[in-house]
Amino acid sequence: MTNYREILRLSSLGITKLNIAASCGCSRNTVTNVLQRAAACRISWPLPDDMTNKELSEKLFPSGETKPTYKMPDYEYIHREMAKSGVTLSLLWVEHCDQCREAGEIPYKSTQFNKYYSDFVRSTKATMHINRKPGEIMEVDWAGQYAHIINTDTGEPIDVSVFVAALSYSGYAYVEGLLSQNQECWTTAHVNAYNFFGGVTRILTPDNLKTGVTKHSRSEVTINKTYLELAEHYGTAVIPARVKSPRDKPTVEGSVGIISTWILAALRNQQFLSLQELNAAIRQKLMEFNNKPFQKKNGSRTTLFEEERPFLLPLPPKPFELATWKVATVQLNYHEV
């Protein structure tokens, strides 16, 4: 228990608050608070002889006084706002203070505001969007396994590569089967993905495929020329994942595994005679996949995508058209080889 009597006595001797705090084993703020309360109650040293410590405590801090009630912020709202570009905890705390003043309520200090937010994140494990801003990143990759269509002439199965694109914030995915992993199919899949999402992210994160990245070393990153033209057309930036670093594109890495089960495995017993027929079945399963409720939180990829959609950059007036680049050799007779 704080020795109020000793604080008043030492203060009457002209001892500094810092030294009083050290002598009485309390904080400097406690000393200041006691002296302010004593002045307000017109209590000074020496005290009346018959005043006990309990009576002094009751006069300084009456038990009937209620402690101030602070307004607890809506941390679910704050967590959603934190996902938006440029929003910080400091800004949200200032807004919280302004709202409390307008309502005649008492806001928390910034330290408590931040502490309770950290507690909220830990207790709800609400860490998914902290470092992922809506409309910021689209991750792309090829699925690890093939789908198949049947060759109508020979009856033999034809391997179909499966392209997967996922938005980092919502996890909303696009899936398409293509007959090759060449530059034309890679580019076509991106164009179709942007049309499917109805907008463009600010960053495009592929793996280190030759159709996307020509060279990726510690000192140099060279983007494929056609891929760079695609990025320029859509106004996005290509930032490849580091070599052997799947954490740089965790959303699509996770989606690839889920899609392999949810879509490809689900279609394993069906036969398709054309790529169009296969992609129609994939689109149906994709819609079910995006609408599938999350297991550990409310909503689905589709509901999160509705929040993310307004943050996407608009599509250009015309879709990107692939240009094939070729280095030609001219002979002495001016004929191209």
Strand locations in the chain (E): 137-142, 147-150, 157-167, 173-178, 203-205, 213-216, 221-223, 237-238
- The DSSP call for residue 330 is B
SS3 147: strand
What's the gap between Cα 285 and its chain centre? Answer: 26
Task: Tell me, yes or no, whether 290 and 230 share the same domain.
Answer: yes
Kindly report the CA angle at 220 between 217 and 226, in degrees rounded to 5? 100
Domain of residue 251 covers 137-311
What's the gap between Cα 136 and its chain centre? Answer: 9
Task: Tell me, yes or no, whether 148 and 291 share the same domain.
Answer: yes
- Within-domain flag for 82: yes
Supply φ then ψ for residue 50, to 5 degrees.
Answer: -90, 5
- Within-domain flag for 320: no
Task: Tell me, yes or no, whether 80 and 193 share the same domain.
Answer: no
Task: Tell me, yes or no, whether 243 and 299 share the same domain.
Answer: yes
- Within-domain flag for 130: no
- Within-domain flag for 56: yes
150 and 271 Cβ atoms separated by less than 8 Å: yes
Domain final residue, candidates 124, 147, 162: 124
Task: Tell me, yes or no, whether 166 and 247 share the same domain.
Answer: yes
pLDDT (0 to 100) of residue 218: 55
pLDDT (0 to 100) of residue 212: 58
pLDDT (0 to 100) of residue 302: 93
What's the gap between Cα 111 and its chain centre? Answer: 23
154 and 160 Cβ atoms separated by less than 8 Å: no
- Within-domain flag for 217: yes
Return the H-helix or E-strand segment holding 60. helix 53-60
pLDDT, tens digit, 9 for 90 and up, residues 135-146: 888 988 888 788
Task: Tell me, yes or no, whether 142 and 284 share the same domain.
Answer: yes
CATH number at residue 251: 3.30.420.10
How many domains is the chain partitioned into structurally?
A: 3
Task: Tell me, yes or no, whether 118 and 147 share the same domain.
Answer: no
pLDDT, tens digit, 9 for 90 and up, residues 168-188: 888 899 999 999 988 889 999
- Within-domain flag for 132: no
- Within-domain flag for 323: no
Task: Tell me, yes or no, whether 98 and 237 share the same domain.
Answer: no
Q: What percent of the chain has pLDDT over 90?
A: 23
256 and 172 Cβ atoms separated by less than 8 Å: no
Q: Token digits for 91?
A: 């800004």
Task: Tell me, yes or no, whether 100 and 172 share the same domain.
Answer: no
Task: Calculate Rg over the CA atoms of the chain.
Answer: 33
Specify the amino acid at residue 284. Q
Task: Tell me, yes or no, whether 290 and 228 share the same domain.
Answer: yes
**Residues pairing with 140 in the sheet:** 165
SS3 219: coil
- Within-domain flag for 330: no
Task: Tell me, yes or no, whether 33 and 142 share the same domain.
Answer: no
pLDDT (0 to 100) of residue 323: 66
Task: Tell me, yes or no, whether 213 and 242 share the same domain.
Answer: yes
Q: Which residues of the chain have pLDDT under 50?
A: 127-130, 245, 248
